[in-house]
Structure 1
Amino acid sequence: MSMLESRAGTDDATTEWVRDPLGSDLDDRVVVRLPVVRRPRWVDQSSWPLPRSDRRLPPGWPIAAAVAGWPLWWALGVTILVFPLAAIPLAWSLHRRGRVKTPPGFLIWVLFLALVTLSVFALDVELVGTAMSSGIGRYFAFGFRLLNYLALTVMLLYLGNTTEAELPRRRVISWFCVLAVSCIVLGSLSVVMPDFTFKAPASYLLPGALQDEGGGMVQLAQVQPVLGETSPRPAAPFPFTNAWGNNLSLLLVWLVVGWGVLGSRSRRTVLLLVLTVALVPIIYSLNRGMWIGLGLAVAVAVVRLALWGRIKALLVVLAVLTVAGSVLAASPLENLISARAETGHSNEVRGSLLGTAIGAAASSPVVGFGSTRKTLGSDESIAIGPSEACPKCGARNIGSTGQLTLLLVSQGFLGVVLYLGFLFWALFSFLRDRSPLGLAGTTVVGMEIFYCLVYSALTMPLAITFLSIGLLWRNARLRRGDDVVGDGVPPEVVEVGRR
């Protein structure tokens, strides 16, 4: 035993208890207090630094590398590999722990994974009215989708099985904040430099099947004629604008918690400035799904704060909304919102593909067809297909307009029931958590359920959702006093409502 270790067990360390701002109820019905151990400064440090054999990477480092480091992997063109590779050390850590706990409703998710695996046998089954894909490419697509489902499952189990002493909830939220700010910065740059592109390094080293979408080219924005004339729509650090909007809207919830609830007064001021800047790329994205999702999230938060009697917090939210509305009204951005609201050219396409996906699920309701399929023509005629003058005409991808359509065609009605069943089970399991973390986590899960109608969940959106469920699961254990913090000391929980 080193001198430092022996003193740590015998010195006159003092323990202070502080209110946990993440786990305590907003209305103080349940107050969680965490210990802060302070040791005298004279503790001998002569044994530092630790021997090389004792140096270890911090717990959760693969999650940090995958989430906070996502912009780097995007720039390299290898995001398709991030979560499967990150899951390897996490799975090994779970194996070394022995007994692994599971979150509420996990059996439903296990059944979903089993169904996805079983649906591989339907890849070669013909679906009337669609084009059969040939070659090994469809098996690669299926394999990567299943691999990412499994990788995110491992990530959820790892986060839920760590303790507050090992991997603090604050740290995970800080990784969300890093990615949120990255999305805002890159989204703002895409408005200024919409034509900026570069060749991904991975395109020189890896085969096409292991590269991200885009043919090896990385772009800041998608330039599309949504309102008639071409305009930039933020995409980085993701391949598509819809993915940018989906992820940023989920991350903004955690940014408000990380910098608003946990931050200092100066950090809160910075938060207001960052949110103001974020309005520009959010509006320029012309992403109606994102706008609706954020609106629903704010509305639910306002109602829940009002029901809990948090008048001060409610007034802060309303003040921020008032300022944001005034900024929009006084800027040209309002014209973009009005124009986008009146332009719904994608509605017909989405409606047609949804109907086709429902028809596919009706043909194979239990296992689906394993993966997406392409229509023979357009929604008007099977004779209309891609041409040199119109490369995007016809041959539309059934399952590309949202997680719901993907599940319908890939795993049938049963897949939809199991997938949404797990998310709803998680939502209602933690809905009574009145803490800031509880409010944020359930809001994110609820938003992702709504986004199933318009966005695909793999990979980062489902990762954010699963990590949010993991945080809710950890928070519930902490609020029961069933966790380890500090030097192995359990938290102190005071339930005012039961006095």
Structure 2
Amino acid sequence: MVKPSVRVRRVRATAPARARAVALVEPGVLEPGAWAVRTAKLPVWPVFAMFALLPLWWVLGVFYFVWPFFGALLVALLTIRGRVRMPPGTVFWLVFLALVAISATRLDKVTSLVIFGLRLGHLVTAFVVGIYVYNLVRDRVPWTRVARPLALFWLAMVALGWLGVLMPKFSFPSPFELALPHGIRSERFILDVTHLDSTEFNKFSENPIYRPAAPYPYTNNWGTAYCFLVPFVLAYLKSVRRGAMRIALLVSLPLSLVPAFLTLNRGMFIGLGAGVAYLLGREALRGRIRMLVPVVGILMLAWIVTLFIPVVDMINSRTSSTDTNKDRFDLYAQTWSAVLHSPLLGYGQPTTVDTTHAAEPLGTQGMIWQLLFSHGIPATLCFYLLLAVVARRLTASITVAGLWLSAAPVIAMVVTPFYAYIDPNMSVLFFVVALGLAALDGPVNRQDQQESSA
């Protein structure tokens, strides 16, 4: 007897798109592919173009202006990818950005929106860079690939620092500066960030001291970047045991001491010293001394450089021949007095006022003063809370490389009374911090490495 054939119809379970994005796959129940979350891979090339091509952006005169455009590109790529992971402290940063944006209502003239928008663009870009790098590492993109653009940024900065050492009077208008209308180019800040100068010096001094600054308009910016990048370089050297980049960084680190010392940046020395003291203190509390060897080695190199460069004498000569300290304290006092008249939102951006012997804008000469004056006390508190949250999270680092990265937010807090970094340096800081946070919050691809980055 022949059994009648029965046609079996296979029915595939379906679920709404929102459910498919969050549902757990039960093995043996449904086809995993039907429930898998599909996300686009984040490319590394935008970060490479942003950081590694620093010499090109500087020569064109668009170093400060191209940054927000890259930030917009990263936002687009993150949006396309979907399911973006957020690092610790995101809430504080979002509130901070909102307060900064609202402070634009305190600007006294419409034309000020150009510079305000540029600074806001740098803040947003730094936040996006941090998220992008964080997700790259969490997606297990090889650590060396993610870190390489920042390593090339460091090498370019050291090379341009040596340009200031060897050609201290190098000064030319950039192509972008020449293309700007005269009205915009005449703005002091715009002129500073578009003109190509290898050093910063007092044009009114009979015996000026040429201090390396390129690719930045001010030597203090160079010193700030140096503070943020030295821990990163040491973390890279500890994480990556072979390759041309490791050799280049090994050579560049002692070479960088020459332009670093010639900047005469006291705040830079204080920031790095605080970072080293923080790391040694953490290790001492745990009964370990492994950080002493690299620290002693760096201090020995620094001491050797001082045998050829009388750094202390040069700093004393600079401070004795100028009123830099007196001007700073006078500026700080006037800034705080102005903040008390607008404590919630500040004034939008720094404003010009005569100090005792100079004319510098209120709200400059330090990150804390710029935040207080430009955006108010609540925004300033949010910024410090963000750094505190990140620093607290990074205390979980246990490897030597991770310890070096954990020093970055501490250094950032210590230098705030002296240096402002609402510029590309903010993105540098968030790049470094994101590398450490991502390694703590998820698995890291350790290909070509003998030790994790955090």
TM category, shorter: 0.7 to 0.9
In 1, Cα distance between equivalents of 2:445 and 2:328: 48
Q: Percent identity?
A: 29
Bigger shift: 398-407 or 57-66?
Answer: 57-66
Residue 85 of structure 1: CA displacement? Answer: 0.9
Aligned residue runs from structure 1 range 484-495, under 5 A: none
- Of 245, 254, 277, the residue aligned with 1:276 is 254
In 2, Cα distance between equivalents of 1:226 and 1:315: 45
In 2, Cα distance between equivalents of 1:198 and 1:342: 31
State the secondary structure of the residue aligned to 1:214: helix
Residue type matched to 2:168 in 1? P
Instruction: Tell me if the contact between 1:233 and 1:241 (Cα under 8 Å) persists in the aligned partners.
Output: yes
Residue 168 of structure 1: CA displacement? Answer: 3.0
Aligned residue runs from structure 1 range 73-84, under 5 A: 73-84=57-68
State the secondary structure of the residue aligned to 2:122: helix
The answer to whether structure 1 residue 427 and structure 2 residue 391 are counterparts is: yes
In 2, Cα distance between equivalents of 1:429 and 1:221: 38
Residue 238 of structure 1: CA displacement? Answer: 0.9
Bigger shift: 327-336 or 88-97?
Answer: 327-336
Residue type matched to 1:217 in 2? H
Closer, same or farther: CA 221–251 of 1 in aligned 2, 3 Å: same
Deviations 1:419-443 (A, max 9, x none): 1111111111221212234312221
Query: What residue is the counterpart of 2:54 in the other structure?
Result: 70
Bigger shift: 60-69 or 243-252?
Answer: 60-69
In 2, Cα distance between equivalents of 1:226 and 1:106: 45
The answer to whether structure 1 residue 95 and structure 2 residue 64 are counterparts is: no
The answer to whether structure 1 residue 411 and structure 2 residue 388 are counterparts is: no
Residue 344 of structure 1: CA displacement? Answer: 6.7
Deviations 1:405-464 (A, max 9, x none): 111111111121111111111111221212234312221111111121111112122111
Query: What residue is the counterpart of 2:17 in the other structure?
Result: none
Give me the CA root mean square deviation.
Answer: 3.1
In 2, Cα distance between equivalents of 1:270 and 1:432: 30
Query: What residue is the counterpart of 1:371 in the other structure?
Result: 349
In 2, Cα distance between equivalents of 1:245 and 1:165: 33
The unaligned stretches of length 5 or more in structure 2 are: 1-39
Instruction: Tell me if the contact between 2:271 and 2:415 (Cα under 8 Å) persists in the aligned partners.
Output: yes
- Of 97, 108, 111, the residue aligned with 1:137 is 111
Query: What residue is the counterpart of 2:361 in the other structure?
Result: 397
Aligned residue runs from structure 1 range 458-469, under 5 A: 458-469=422-433
TM-score (structure 2 length as normaliser): 0.80
Residue 71 of structure 1: CA displacement? Answer: 2.2
State the secondary structure of the residue aligned to 1:229: coil
Query: What residue is the counterpart of 2:434 in the other structure?
Result: 470
- Of 236, 257, 271, the residue aligned with 1:293 is 271
In 2, Cα distance between equivalents of 1:266 and 1:313: 25
State the secondary structure of the residue aligned to 2:340: helix
Residue type matched to 2:97 in 1? L
Task: Report the structure, 1 or 2, having the larger helix content.
Answer: 2
Instruction: Tell me if the contact between 1:221 and 1:234 (Cα under 8 Å) persists in the aligned partners.
Output: yes
Query: What residue is the counterpart of 2:102 in the other structure?
Result: 118
Aligned residue runs from structure 1 range 289-328, under 5 A: 289-328=267-306
In 1, Cα distance between equivalents of 2:107 and 2:384: 23
Residue 199 of structure 1: CA displacement? Answer: 2.4
The unaligned stretches of length 5 or more in structure 1 are: 1-55, 125-133, 380-392, 487-492, 494-499
Residue 200 of structure 1: CA displacement? Answer: 0.9
State the secondary structure of the residue aligned to 1:290: helix
TM-score (structure 1 length as normaliser): 0.73
State the secondary structure of the residue aligned to 1:397: strand
Task: Report the structure, 1 or 2, having the larger strand content.
Answer: 1
Residue 58 of structure 1: CA displacement? Answer: 7.3
Instruction: Tell me if the contact between 1:164 and 1:485 (Cα under 8 Å) persists in the aligned partners.
Output: no
Instruction: Tell me if the contact between 1:122 and 1:369 (Cα under 8 Å) persists in the aligned partners.
Output: yes
The answer to whether structure 1 residue 235 and structure 2 residue 213 are counterparts is: yes
Question: How many residues get paired?
Answer: 406
